[in-house]
Amino acid sequence: MEQLLNLRDLLDHQVEDLTSAEDQIIEALPAMIENAKDGRLKKALNEHLQVTKEHRKRLDKIKQLLGTQQSEDAEGKTKSFLERIFGGGTKCKGMEGLLTEGEKVIKEDMDAQVKDAAIIAAAQKVEHYEISGYGTARAYAAQLKLDVVEKLLNSTLNEEYQADDLLTALALGKVNLEAERGGNAARRGNNRANGRAQATKPPARAAKKSAVKKKSARKKAAKKKGAKKAARRR
Ligand SMILES: [Fe+2]
């Protein structure tokens, strides 16, 4: 198996990895947008979807500038670095894992405000992965004196930072607070429901005791009534 040889190969690998990551994000963001309740969060995610599509196009431009870096395997088929390292295609497994975790959270049954906080957490994990990838790729491009590539990578990196900062501002400004209030209200609702259930369904022993008490009360009342009738007859 051919190995990564130099910094330029590492740069190609990062660009391939980021291409797969951006493709997966474009696919996953609509579900996050649909599930977000807070208007500003929905808007921020929507805008980031459009920005992500631009990032994907920018990566194509970068790949053009770098030239397609592929090699042939034993059967003569061309394979990218990612395919050769991880096998089975060029899908970025790191991003796949983060998005799978995010999807699980979205599918959970939870208070809408709590879900907004969870969506922000999932989106920020994605952003941090991208910041790491683009930061590394930009540093490689700078080292290799690939000025145009460096500039393009830097533009995307800055936009990823902006998206991350906006999500932090939304979380700290409103969403986390709403999640705390919403989650507590939901818990109080559950407690009330449990209380009602206990009140309407007394334990079997208590129910039996209460039935016995009622029976003896009825007997006493009947006896009293009988005694009164007898007294009237006298
Ligand atoms: Fe991106």
**What 3 state SS string does 37-91 have?**
CCHHHHHHHHHHHHHHHHHHHHHHHHHHHHCCCCEECCCCCEECHHHHHHCCCCC
Å from CA of 90 to ligand 1 middle: 17
Å from CA of 161 to ligand 1 middle: 10
Alpha-carbon distance of 3 to 88, in angstroms, equals 17
Q: Give the pLDDT band (50/70/90) at residue 188.
A: low
Q: Is the pLDDT of residue 186 over 90?
A: no
Beta bridge partners of 78: 72
Which tops the pLDDT comparison, 204 or 55? 55
pTM, rounded to two decimals? 0.72
Å from CA of 52 to ligand 1 middle: 5
Q: What is the pLDDT of residue 176?
A: 95
75-105 pLDDT tens trace: 444 455 556 655 555 799 999 999 999 999 8
Å from CA of 54 to ligand 1 middle: 8
Q: Give the pLDDT band (50/70/90) at residue 196.
A: very low
- Residue 137 phi/psi, 5-degree rounding, is -60, -40
Give residues whose Cβ lies within 5 Å of ion ligand 1: 52, 55, 130
The Cα angle at residue 132 between residues 131 and 136, in degrees rounded to 5 = 115
Q: What is the pLDDT of residue 90?
A: 74
CA-based nearest residue to 19, from 82, 73, 100? 82
CA-based nearest residue to 17, from 86, 72, 78, 64? 86
* pLDDT (mean) for 145-157: 98
Q: Is the pLDDT of residue 209 over 70?
A: no
Å from CA of 12 to ligand 1 middle: 17
58-68 pLDDT tens trace: 999 999 999 95
Å from CA of 94 to ligand 1 middle: 14
